Chain A
Amino acid sequence: MSPEADQILLLSSSQLSGTLVPLLPSGYAQGQASLLSFMMVMCAQEYERGADIRARENSEIRDLFTTLAPDVTDKDLAAQLAAAAVTRDESLAISTLNTANAELRRLLIALQTLLEQQDNRAAQARIWELLKRSAARRLIKLA
């Protein structure tokens, strides 16, 4: 598709902030419209990367479960981690990726909590590396 949705959002944002916002009453109306314009830029970023950052996060969590599950002493949790590690995203639709991500995050929290209780610092560090990468990918870039 050309123009792509992100281009439409970026040009619409530019039209809104450059042409329409100055025509609005100053104060509340201009402020709200300017924020909407900025959020259109955020949406343009997300259109391009949204599926990618979710799919990567899901894949990295599964890989982590594959690595750590064999050493988890809680047998029930270990089984859940092993089962989750072999799941796959059924599509790249955002809603599908989010549904899978919710279950993976639930298990990740349980695993991290257990590793903290056991003071397993090496495994905790692996989780924090994953969380740092994930958080960095989800940051909104201003420039």
Chain B
Amino acid sequence: MSDEITLPLQSYLARKLSVPGLIVGDLARIPGGASRETYRFRISYDRGGERVERGLILRRDPPASLIETERSTEFRAYGAFHRLGLPVPEPIALELEAGDLERPFFIMEEITGCSVASVLMPDPYGVHREKIGMQFFTTLGRIAQADPHALGLGDFDGPMTRETCWSHEVSRWETVIDEDERELQPIARATIRWLKRNPPPPAQKISVVHGDYRTGNFLFDPDGNIRAILDWEMAHLGDPLEDLGWALDPLWAHGDPSRPAGTVARAKAIAIWEESSGLKADPQALAWWEIFASLKGLAIWISAAREYAEGRNSDPVNAFSGWFCLAFHNHVLAEKLGAEL
């Protein structure tokens, strides 16, 4: 498959970048989730009598995606937060038509010399967990603090209000469950009803919500520096507490929910976020968004299970998500909502 991509990609980039002597090499598929096929490659070209080399990443749509997401949204989010100075790779090119590479794709810079944590690793950050936690929640606070209009992302989701963003999100994921549920999910349904009966207070502001801000979606170097926040494909406008609730979810805690994302203690994580964002994490509102986060997880895992079971995407991560993660979040929600009575 990689060889089938190299030549069309080279032809595309030669046109797109308008640089002489462009050659694509070392194309290799790398892990990157089931929602996009991810490849690493290098380009070289002539500039001022010298040969220039650069590493790039190709993210191409698979035949069927985990969650149907808007490619241009992802691309614009990368660009906006890269320009803001956050650790986000520079986006290079976006193609929405299934032309050169048969499916839509985008290209961004490669960040080298880094690792990404697996959700199943018990202690992925070792001696750097406090340092990484500080950066992780500080950066999330900066995303929350940023003005979507100043970023050029004010039109992301159409009109969004502080009072209704929560119901917009519940409806979004309820629709996913309605469409993709292959076996009835009593806990998901009870959670949706609970979320609607117990709405959170209005958002303090409307922010860009990353949508999948968690351990496993950033690159860090051997010195414990976060070098790249990745996977902006579910970015949207909404309550900034949505991202915090997702980041704190126990599924991403590497087995120790008292240390969200496998980093700092929970209270410290929240304090770092508040300091960085200038916002308050009201406990009642945050509790609502944490329950929502696990419901959103269920919706994603239900969708993944359907993709796999119906043969549209046989990536094993879909089977893993639709089984392991679904069981995990069902358990989390049953314990939380069962305790409400």
Contact = CB atoms under 8 A, between A and B. Distances in A.
Interface stretch (B10-18, B24-32, B225-233): B24-32
B327 A35 contact: no
Main secondary structure of the interface of A (DSSP, over half): helix
Nearest to A142: B120
Contacts, number: 90
Contact of A132 (B184, B319, B338): B338
A109 B189 contact: yes
Interface size class of B (residues with CB under 8 A): 20 to 34
Interface in A117-143: 121, 124-125, 128-129, 131-132, 134-136, 138-140, 142
B331 interface: yes
B184 A106 contact: yes
A116 B319 CA distance: 33
A117 B160 CA distance: 30
Contacts of A98: 183
A32 interface: yes
B31 A31 contact: yes
Contacts of B187: 131, 135
A72 interface: no
B328 interface: yes
Interface centre among B40, B120, B320, B334 (most CB of A within 10 A): B334
Given A38-B320, A135-B187, A28 B338 contact: no
A132 B335 contact: yes
A128 B337 contact: yes
B317 interface: yes
A79 interface: no
Interface in B301-332: 315-317, 319-320, 323-324, 327-328, 330-331
A113 B193 contact: yes
Nearest to A103: B184
Contacts of A135: 187, 327, 330-331, 333-335
A88 to B, nearest CB: 20
A132 B28 contact: no
A112 B186 contact: yes
A42 B330 contact: no
Contact of A102 (B28, B40, B183, B338): B183
Given A35-B317, A139-B328, A105 B186 contact: yes
Given A128-B341, A132-B338, A135-B330, A140 B31 contact: no
Interface residues of A, number: 35
Contacts of B320: 35, 38-39, 42
B190 interface: yes
Given A129-B338, A140-B323, A27 B31 contact: yes
Interface string B182-204: 01111101100100010000000
A25 interface: yes
A102 B184 contact: yes
Interface of A: 25, 27-29, 31-32, 35-36, 38-39, 42, 98, 101-102, 105-106, 108-109, 112-113, 116, 121, 124-125, 128-129, 131-132, 134-136, 138-140, 142
Interface of B: 28-31, 40, 120, 183-187, 189-190, 193, 197, 255, 315-317, 319-320, 323-324, 327-328, 330-331, 333-335, 337-338, 341
Top 8 nearest A-B pairs by Cβ distance? Answer: A128-B338, A28-B29, A105-B184, A31-B31, A135-B331, A135-B334, A135-B330, A132-B334
